Structure 1
Amino acid sequence: MRDNQLSQLQSSLLFGSLSLIPNGTLRCTLLAIVFCIIVFSRIHLEHPSIQLAHVEDKINKAEEDLRNAKLYCAKDALILAAQGVRLLEVKRTMSMIKCHSLESGTLSWKKYRLLSRDIAACAKEVKKIRTVVQLIVESEHQRKYTQVINETETMLTGFKSPEVSPRISPMFIV
């Protein structure tokens, strides 16, 4: 949503500043130049080498999440190992994409689109892996919180007195 508002603001500023130019020919020329700059910058940002770098950053974050999860969630070792295998498969695919990109040198539009699609698929898979790992970690957090709550309630039940309730209402928490 925020990107959409930023885009609307940019286009409003662009068209507002173009309306200040009195000459129609100059206005069209500047609009064409701005359009070309936007298109070329967009192409540059989606170049496979830049996309590869972004996905490699995501892979590094996923590896870090996976390492931390293995330390924190020992009972989910098999699921985490499976996610590790999935991540290794993505890394292998990324390596094959890099090799293909290096071998081909200059890219035709067709190869460019295919590489971009493959890189996007890898990015999507890394996101899924990170989500699974993060859900496992959060599940472990919830389990530990529940355990502490139960232990605390058990302890409070042992000290139960007629005028003090073991459950404290949220409005009395300061």
Structure 2
Amino acid sequence: MCDTSNILQSSAVFRTISLIPVRMFPYVALGAVSASLAIYTLHHNLPWTRLDHINDAIAIVDETLTHAKAKCTRDYLVLVEAETWFLRPSSQCLLEMHNMPGWKNYLRVMVTISRALAMLEREVRGIHTSLLVLVEAAHQRKLTEDIREDQEIGDGVLHS
């Protein structure tokens, strides 16, 4: 099915492109690609976009930590240590946002804030990875115990 709005939009784009002289087209295309890349990079590195990524990562780590607490009862100390690692970046982020300068100085330190938030996001994702490794180790340990128990049962049945 053809949508009339898509047809009109594509015809408007082609009409606009046809107005550009042939010699100028590569330069206009290069400028459009460069502008879209710059806008994407700027949008991706804005502090509020970074904060959205951090909030998503924190929610995932919190969910994984709850799951790990249920599955990894033998590794309680490691879980407590992971939870303190998790709480430190969260509280550090809140403290840094509280001490953020006013709007006049904001543009001057925006790159620094963005880099700090990127490092914080990497740290939270690292915590998530370590929790996943811990949960996987618990699964492997449980599987090994089940296999050993099944072998003992099988050996007991064969010997009797």
TM-score range, shorter chain: 0.7 to 0.9
2-structure distance, mates of 1:158, 1:76 = 31
User: Does 2:133 align with 1:135?
Assistant: yes
Structure 1 residue 22: deviation in Å? 6.2
* Percent of pairs with identical residues: 26
The partner residue of 2:155 within 157, 160, 168 is 157
Contact 1:83 1:129 in 2 (8 A): yes
Question: What are the superposed Cα offsets for residues 73-100 of structure 1, whole Å, 9 maximum, x if unpaired?
Answer: 1121111111111111111122134335
Contact 1:55 1:123 in 2 (8 A): yes
- Kindly report the root-mean-square deviation, in angstroms, between the aligned alpha carbons of the 2 structures: 2.1
2-structure distance, mates of 1:139, 1:29 = 55
Question: What are the superposed Cα offsets for residues 36-87 of structure 1, whole Å, 9 maximum, x if unpaired?
Answer: 1220122012111001110110011001111111111112111111111111
Unpaired segments ≥5 residues, structure 1: 1-17, 162-174
User: Does 2:46 align with 1:73?
Assistant: no
Give the TM-score normalised by the residue count of structure 2: 0.78
2:93 alignment partner in structure 1: 94
Unpaired segments ≥5 residues, structure 2: 1-16
Structure 1 residue 121: deviation in Å? 1.2
Secondary structure (helix, strand or coil) at the match of 1:75 reads coil
1:121 alignment partner in structure 2: 119
1:167 alignment partner in structure 2: none
- Paired residues, what number? 140
Question: What are the superposed Cα offsets for residues 99-145 of structure 1, whole Å, 9 maximum, x if unpaired?
Answer: 355x433632x512211111111111112211221111111111111
**Larger RCO: Structure 1 or Structure 2 (Cα < 8 Å, ≥ 6 residues apart)?**
2
User: Does 2:35 align with 1:36?
Assistant: yes
1-structure distance, mates of 2:141, 2:35 = 55
2-structure distance, mates of 1:46, 1:77 = 37
User: Does 2:17 align with 1:53?
Assistant: no
2-structure distance, mates of 1:47, 1:99 = 17
Give the TM-score normalised by the residue count of structure 1: 0.72
Contact 1:65 1:133 in 2 (8 A): yes
